Amino acid sequence: MKNYSKIIGIDISKSTLDLCVLNNDKEKKTEFFKIENEAKAIAGFLKKYDADTVMLCMEDTGVYGMRLCVVLSDKGFDFSVVPAIQIRRSMGLKRGKSDKTDAMDIARYALKHLDELPLFKMAEPDLQELRIMMAEREKLVRAIKIFRSTTETVMYATKGSCKAVAKHSENTLNLLQKQLEKMDKMMAELIYRNEHMRRQSELLQSIPGIGPQTSIYLIAYTRCFTAFQNWRQFACYSGVAPFPYESGTSIRGRTKVSHYAQKKIKSLLHLAAINAKRFDMQMAQYYERKVEQGKNKMSVVNAVRCKVVARAFAVIKRDKPYVNTVGYLS
């Protein structure tokens, strides 16, 4: 491992980057910078540092951090991209928040876990393109929700009024839905033409409850199942891993999932769990057994989500489709 003299924590937003430069010595002196989230500005900032003596760390912010990752890779800097939940859990309870303090928290987290930080490697071009497509898809989904609510509002307006608004909303909604279908088709074609991703998609869809969309998102968020060492790490990142809720002897509540999570993948895993317990006899029996034992229904559904994640990592690791053993045992 390199002897890094400086640790740089980076808080990423759409337009700017807040950076905290922390000296890796006894004094732990800190400096703060704010630059534009543009390739030229990033390259200019990096000129001040030696790539062999600096470690940079940032939260996973999706497409907002992509430009930064590209520049760092091109310049030969070591850097790590960490799920936000890991940093939040490491920091504990905090009062107040700002971009400056967030950057400092990331730098301190990186220093504390320097020996175990995984170095980030740029994904292959097809995977980068898939992430960009997913970001555009999410924009379309949000826009459709907005215009759908507008259409529903006009339905309750006085008869004969707002006809022009209703027609405009309906036309826009139809256009957005066509664009969404086109984007889904483009994503499916991208998966199909990449042999590695196509194979992973086929393996994932062999699991009851996982369909085409969920398989695509799993491939993208796990970077073809290379970004996480095991399914438990991904379950934590997705917000489906339960954590104990207790303090001393006075507070002992039910285990809870963290509200720091990747909301989209969490919602897809929820749908996958619902479908799994509907169409997979083994999952259905597990769910019914736990509910009969008095377990909270949502807690059991969350356990099913974890099982779906575990199965996903298992089929990828073994490179073999999922086999439902219930049919063989009956």
Q: What is the pLDDT of residue 125?
A: 86
Q: What is the pLDDT of residue 252?
A: 44
d(CA 156, CA 168): 16
Q: What is the pLDDT of residue 170?
A: 83
Can you read off the two tokens belonging to residue 147?
């215009």
pLDDT digits (tens, 9 = 90+) for 100-120: 888 999 999 999 999 888 888
d(CA 60, CA 173): 32
Q: What is the pLDDT of residue 116?
A: 86
- Selection from 76, 59, 121, 64 nearest residue 260 by Cα: 59
State CA 146 to chain mean position distance.
23
pLDDT digits (tens, 9 = 90+) for 117-156: 888 887 788 988 998 999 899 999 999 988 887 766 666 6
pLDDT digits (tens, 9 = 90+) for 154-195: 666 555 556 777 777 888 999 999 999 999 999 999 999 999
Can you read off the two tokens belonging to residue 198?
């196509």
Question: Higher-confidence residue: 88 or 173?
Answer: 173
Q: Tell me, what DSSP letter sits at residue 240?
A: -
Q: Tell me, what DSSP letter sits at residue 93?
A: S
- Selection from 37, 13, 120, 40 nearest residue 73 by Cα: 120
* Mean local confidence (pLDDT), 231-237: 89
CB 271 within 8 Å of CB 279: no
Q: What is the pLDDT of residue 66?
A: 87
State CA 230 to chain mean position distance.
15
Question: Higher-confidence residue: 261 or 200?
Answer: 200
Question: Higher-confidence residue: 271 or 87?
Answer: 271
Can you read off the two tokens belonging to residue 92?
């504990």
Q: Tell me, what DSSP letter sits at residue 120?
A: P
Q: Taking CA 306 as the corner, what is the angle to CA 305 and CA 307, rounded to the nearest 5 degrees?
A: 90
The total of other beta-carbon atoms located within 10 Å of residue 243's CB is 11
pLDDT digits (tens, 9 = 90+) for 41-70: 999 999 999 999 999 999 888 788 889 999
Confidence of residue 246 (pLDDT cuts 50, 70, 90): very low
Q: Tell me, what DSSP letter sits at residue 208?
A: T
Can you read off the two tokens belonging to residue 85?
């939940």
d(CA 63, CA 130): 11
Q: What is the pLDDT of residue 160?
A: 57
Sign (positive or negative) of CA dihedral 22, 123, 197, 60:
positive
Q: What is the pLDDT of residue 169?
A: 80
Report the percent of the chain where pLDDT is more than 70.
85
- Selection from 237, 310, 221, 305 nearest residue 269 by Cα: 305
Beta-strand ranges (E) seen in 91-196 are none
Query: Which ranges of the chain does DSSP label H, i.e. alpha helix?
Result: 39-46, 66-75, 84-91, 99-112, 125-155, 163-193, 195-204, 212-221, 231-238, 263-279, 281-292, 297-318, 326-329
What is this structure's pTM? 0.72
User: β-pairing, 6-12 with 16-23?
Assistant: antiparallel
